[in-house]
């Protein structure tokens, strides 16, 4: 006996449901859960069934509340976010849309990752990537590195590569983590010479040293390995040694390897990326020795 075909599923106006649900955002009518948010301790009202069906984190939160016999009238305290950010998350949960501004976009991205809202995360990444500025690009890069957002990280690096002189003067550049700084220094396309880049790293290291209360050498030990000292002339290396004696930013052995390169006039070692010129590298006489000889060819 043939199986009867399933009745067709007919769809109404796609915008009508989000529009209706938008009216429930922070609406006390039928609300059965509340949140005390941020330093302002602003009370935001919501509806458990909507939050739970759209967000697994809220589902676990409410289930735990039931299992521990806590009163459902007790509000949840969210001290580490702001009302504007939390309302943006609520807006997305209710309507699948979000209203972002530059002021809150990075924090909404953080919340999207924490709440497991992947669609919201993608919307934030796209918005941030299209609205990068000199002042906030390093903050965006730091968020991308922290939360493993490869696409946003790449967009930030492209922006920094094009505007390095302005970016390295920003406060957010000096507040980068070591991983954020390393991601910049690994770039071949940054439009900045190595000398000002080293100066920028030194300023960053001193700020990080003061914040973390550790020595300059310790805070920068992984970062300075990405500095391309082989690009410096002998005169610049001499100046670098004099500056380095004050804070020991760069290990002596690393500087010694650069002097060895100048003595031998050939590339040796297992880190060829440190011999590569960046897009903004100014030419020096010794750069003709930077490229390794072709295989099977005579050394220069």
pLDDT value, residue 72: 66
Q: How far is CA 38 from CA 27, 42, 87, 88, 223, in A?
A: 19, 7, 12, 14, 35
Under 8 Å between Cβ of 184 and 160: yes
pLDDT value, residue 29: 87
Q: Helix axis angle, 105-114 relative to 83-95, nearest 10°?
A: 60
Residues of the chain with pLDDT under 50: 298-300
Cβ burial, residue 72 (10 Å; 0-12/13-18/19+): exposed
Q: Rounded to two decimals, what is the model's pTM? A: 0.85
Q: Please, how many CA atoms are within 13 Å of residue 17, restricted to the half-sphere of its CB?
A: 10
pLDDT value, residue 18: 82
Domains, the chain, with CATH or none: 23-99 (3.30.710.10)
Nearest to 258, CA basis, from 242, 291, 236: 236
């Amino acid at each position: 006996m043939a199986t009867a075909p399933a009745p067709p599923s007919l769809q109404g106006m796609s915008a009508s449901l989000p529009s209706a649900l938008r009216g429930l955002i922070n609406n006390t009518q039928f609300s059965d859960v509340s949140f005390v948010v941020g330093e302002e301790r602003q009370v935001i009202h919501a509806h458990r069934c909507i939050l739970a069906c759209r967000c697994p984190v809220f589902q676990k939160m409410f289930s735990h509340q039931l299992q521990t016999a806590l009163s459902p009238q007790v509000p949840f305290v969210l001290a580490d976010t702001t009302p504007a950010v939390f309302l943006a998350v609520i807006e997305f949960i209710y309507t699948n849309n979000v209203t972002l501004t530059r002021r809150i976009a990075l924090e909404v991205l953080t919340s999207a990752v924490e709440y497991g809202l992947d669609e919201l995360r993608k919307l934030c990444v796209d918005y941030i990537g299209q609205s990068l500025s000199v002042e906030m690009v390093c903050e965006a890069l730091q968020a991308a590195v922290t939360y493993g957002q490869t696409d946003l990280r790449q967009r930030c690096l492209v922006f920094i590569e094009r505007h390095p002189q302005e970016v390295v003067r920003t406060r957010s550049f000096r507040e980068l983590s070591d991983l954020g700084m390393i991601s910049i220094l690994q770039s071949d396309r940054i439009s900045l010479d190595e000398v000002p880049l080293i100066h920028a790293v030194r300023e960053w290291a001193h700020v990080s040293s003061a914040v973390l209360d550790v020595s300059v050498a310790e805070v920068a030990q992984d970062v300075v390995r990405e500095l391309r000292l082989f690009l410096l002339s002998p005169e610049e290396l001499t100046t670098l040694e004099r500056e380095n004696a004050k804070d020991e930013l760069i290990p002596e052995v690393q500087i010694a390897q650069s002097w060895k390169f100048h003595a031998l006039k050939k590339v040796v070692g297992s880190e060829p990326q440190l011999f590569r010129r960046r897009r903004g590298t100014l030419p020096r006489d010794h750069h003709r020795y930077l490229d390794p000889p072709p295989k099977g060819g005579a050394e220069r």
